[in-house]
Amino acid sequence: MQQALTGGMDRQSELARENAKLRRINQVLMDRVERSMDFQGNAFSLFQTAVLLENRVHERTQALETALREGEHANRELRRATEDAETAKARLSEAIRSIREGFAFCGPDDRLVLCNNRYREIWRLGDAAATGMTFEEIVRRAATDGMIVDAMSDPEDWVRRRMASHRAPGEPFVLQFRDGRWLQISERRTEDGGIVGIYTDITEIKISETRRREHELAETSALLQATLDNLSQGVSVFDASQRLVAWNNRFVELLGLPRTLVFRGTSLRDVMVSDCIRRQFTVDGSGHVRPIEPGRPLELEHEAPGGRVLEIRRNTMPDGGWVSTYTDITERRRAALELQEAKLNLERRVEERTAELRAAKAEAEQANLSKTKFLAAASHDLLQPLNAARVFMAALAERRVAPANRRLVDSTVAALEGVDELLTALLDISKLDAGVMHTEIGDFPIAELLSAMEGEHAMVAVSKGLRLTVKPCRLAVRSDPRLVGRILRNLISNAIRYTPSGRILVGCRRRGDRLLVGVWDTGVGIPADKQEEIFEEFRRLNDQGRDRGMGLGLAIVQRIARRLGHPLVVRSEHGRGSLFGIELPIGQDAAVRPARRPLPMLPRADGMEGAAVLVIDNEVSILEGMAALLGGWGCQVAVAATAEEALERAAQDGRPDLIVADYHLDEGRIGLDAIAAVQRACGGDLPGIVVTADHTAEVQAAVKAAGCHLLNKPLKAGRLRSLMAHLLAKARTARGAAEPDGGEPLRRAAAGR
């Protein structure tokens, strides 16, 4: 509408200018005609001039009439546009006046251009005073007149904040008037830089909201009070001015306060008649009440008259007040005292019981130790004659006897071996169960242990027609070599016993940081449902043939593996063979050269013929049996009961090739000393084998430290022969390297052997 009004006014001005221009042209033409008539006086010329003038006047008149018609049309359009604009302006003014909200429009210079009566009423402005006033003048007037609540304390500060909000309009601005009215102001900028503001009275909304909040607060207060009254604890709340604002009946009861003293607004000083209150607060020299440890939670116990004990907890509230709780812990304190007394009594009883248990444990340990010592002594005493019997039977088995007697000899040897295995297994199990089998963990090359296993079992395997293969390994492992050797001996013995034909492989496989040392066989195998049972004591499968053990070997293996903390590996397929192994941690020294494998040994062509063997034992029967057994193998045997006799025999017969000595000799002497004496007398390295019924770790360590080899009683002829053949082969190889001509030692040449 404003644009149409402006266009109409421009068109009217243009027509007026055109009309004035035509009048000036007409006037100029008339003047020229009159001047021509006056100066020339020529009639024809005057006629021509008149005709020309008439034509021009006619043209100009027509143009003028057209312009006048257009001007009249434009005037009519202008009047119509003006009327429309006036109508629109009137309607806009009427709409602005009729709205309930206050309306104000400030121009780019921030002066009031247009407003309605509601706006004037809000700010108490008259008609004359409103137009042309700046917005800041209106705001400052309201602030200085005390109309605005927020501006009463600092009008200038409020004016600055209001003008900042006005210049950057955004969120609605809320004002509270002193007469109780609330006003919400929403302002927006126009395209020409002016500001339009809408002023909405929200007093009713504020009143409704206040009432709702008061109602909710009342409900909350009632709920809070009901909650406080139902608490078993006493509760009191003091505000920052040290006035009581909330409490419950339990607070009055526990502190024993007069009810006439407890009401809303009671001073903290008034209730300090209670000892519970006085313990939380103090009164300074000026009479001011101050909290103990201000700003920090307070927790203490107070014993009231009559034996009641109260737990007091005080916390500071955000507004500076305090909330305190009072809990009756009399029963809890009594229960704690009773519990403490019961604890002391229990501790005393536990100490007494512990002393009894210690005594019982010591007695049990002593009994186990005594049992172990008894078993060791008994086994030694039993193994001595048993060993002699086995030696004699082995010597008899080496001789040619009648077929009927051969069966008797074989049965006797099998029975003696069964007794031997049973006694050894029982002794080992008793040590493991009693916890007296000590371990000595260290790094050692597994090749040494594998070489020893091959030397001990090669002849036994060959005698059964089996092929025993031991694969070398360059790694070191960390464990107890003695106990690991015991495990491998049992596993290899089981493989030989339960493999009717085929081969047995002993080897290693690396698995990360562990080494599997296993025994593979082509034996009878174990059914899958029986693979757990084989580790039980005296458990033997029914289909394992006539040559069965006592059922204790794998039980001992399992106990030793648990003692060392090494997992066992068992895989078997019934009728095809088995794998029994143990996983050992790889040791630090991983670059170990495996020991040289022994020379292959056959039942007869094993290098035993003509070997000089010195046997030292304090039992005459064992000396006789060993002489018969070794003599049957083709050895030249010399026997002695003491170290002195051994030296005499060595001096008479010359340097022996091998020494076999019992560990325990008469008068507390040991066979290691006798071996050492003969070695010193004869010079050079003499291989020594120690035979003993003492299975203790100390004996095994001493034999190993002396560089000798150990065989346990009762002696197994197969193991003895395998070990002797192994040692003699090594000694012969060493002499061959030292003597390129390969001649016999001088001693034996002189002796005529």
Whether the per-residue pLDDT at 337 is higher than 90: the answer is: no
CA distances from 38 to 31, 34, 42, 425 (A): 11, 6, 10, 171
Whether the per-residue pLDDT at 356 is higher than 50: the answer is: yes
In the block, residue with structure tokens 């057994």: 629
pLDDT band at 71 (very low <50, low <70, confident <90, very high): low
- Mean predicted confidence (pLDDT) in 321-330: 86
Sign of CA dihedral 133, 134, 138, 141: negative
Rounded to whole angstroms, the Cα distance separating 18 from 50 reads: 25
Residue 656 is encoded by which pair of tokens?
């022996």
- The pLDDT, as a whole number, for residue 605 is 46
Of 21, 3, 29, residue with least CA distance to 68: 21
- The pLDDT, as a whole number, for residue 608 is 80
For the chain, what is the radius of gyration of the CA atoms?
63
Whether the per-residue pLDDT at 325 is higher than 80: the answer is: yes
- The pLDDT, as a whole number, for residue 508 is 93
The whole-model pTM stands at 0.36
Whether the per-residue pLDDT at 505 is higher than 90: the answer is: yes
- The pLDDT, as a whole number, for residue 219 is 76
* 638 alpha carbon, distance to own chain's centre: 70
pLDDT band at 374 (very low <50, low <70, confident <90, very high): low
CA distances from 594 to 119, 445, 721 (A): 110, 8, 23
pLDDT in tens, 408-463: 666 666 556 656 655 665 666 666 555 556 778 889 999 988 888 887 788 788 88
Cis peptide upstream of residue 714 (ω within 30 degrees of 0): yes
Lowest mean pLDDT among 75-79, 596-600, 668-672, 690-694: 596-600
Higher pLDDT, 435 or 668: 668
Of 243, 246, 253, residue with least CA distance to 276: 253
Q: What is the DSSP letter of 482?
A: H
Rounded to whole angstroms, the Cα distance separating 451 from 453 reads: 5
Lowest mean pLDDT among 90-94, 152-156, 485-489, 749-753: 749-753
Q: What is the DSSP letter of 150?
A: T
pLDDT band at 667 (very low <50, low <70, confident <90, very high): confident
Give domain 612-751's CATH number out of 3.40.50.2300, 3.30.1490.190, 3.40.50.1000, 3.40.50.1980: 3.40.50.2300
* pLDDT, mean over the chain: 77
Higher pLDDT, 272 or 660: 660
Q: Percent of the chain, pLDDT > 70?
A: 73
Most confident option among 82-91, 219-228, 538-547, 686-695 = 686-695
- Mean predicted confidence (pLDDT) in 699-706: 88
Whether the per-residue pLDDT at 747 is higher than 90: the answer is: no
Of 226, 231, 224, 184, residue with least CA distance to 205: 184
The class of domain 99-201 in CATH terms is alpha beta
- The pLDDT, as a whole number, for residue 121 is 85
Amino acid occupying residue 624: E
pLDDT band at 318 (very low <50, low <70, confident <90, very high): confident
Residue 168 is encoded by which pair of tokens?
């950057």
Domain spanning 439-585: CATH 3.40.50.720: no
Q: What is the DSSP letter of 594?
A: P
Q: Are strands 568-573 and 503-511 parallel, antiparallel or unpaired?
A: unpaired
Whether the per-residue pLDDT at 684 is higher than 90: the answer is: no
Q: For the domain made up of 233-328, give the CATH fold.
A: Beta-Lactamase (3.30.450)
- Full DSSP string of 8-51: HHHHHHHHHHHHHHHHHHHHHHHHHHHHHHHHT--HHHHHHHHH
- The pLDDT, as a whole number, for residue 400 is 63
pLDDT in tens, 624-665: 888 888 888 888 889 998 989 888 888 888 889 899 999 888
- The pLDDT, as a whole number, for residue 686 is 86
- Full DSSP string of 641-694: SSHHHHHHHHHHH---SEEEEESB-GGG-BHHHHHHHHHHHH-S---EEEEES-
- The answer to whether 110 and 135 are in contact (CB under 8 A) is yes
**Residue 436, burial from CB neighbour count under 10 angstroms (0-12, 13-18, 19+):** middle
Q: Are strands 612-616 and 636-640 parallel, antiparallel or unpaired?
A: parallel
pLDDT band at 51 (very low <50, low <70, confident <90, very high): low
pLDDT in tens, 101-112: 888 889 999 898
Rounded to whole angstroms, the Cα distance separating 558 from 689 reads: 29
DSSP, collapsed to helix, strand or coil, labels residue 512 as coil
DSSP, collapsed to helix, strand or coil, labels residue 260 as helix
Lowest mean pLDDT among 156-165, 315-324, 372-381, 574-583: 372-381
**Residue 126, burial from CB neighbour count under 10 angstroms (0-12, 13-18, 19+):** exposed
Rounded to whole angstroms, the Cα distance separating 64 from 69 reads: 8
- The answer to whether 298 and 316 are in contact (CB under 8 A) is no
What pairs with residue 267 in β-bridges? 243
- The pLDDT, as a whole number, for residue 405 is 62
- The pLDDT, as a whole number, for residue 583 is 92
Rounded to whole angstroms, the Cα distance separating 257 from 731 reads: 107
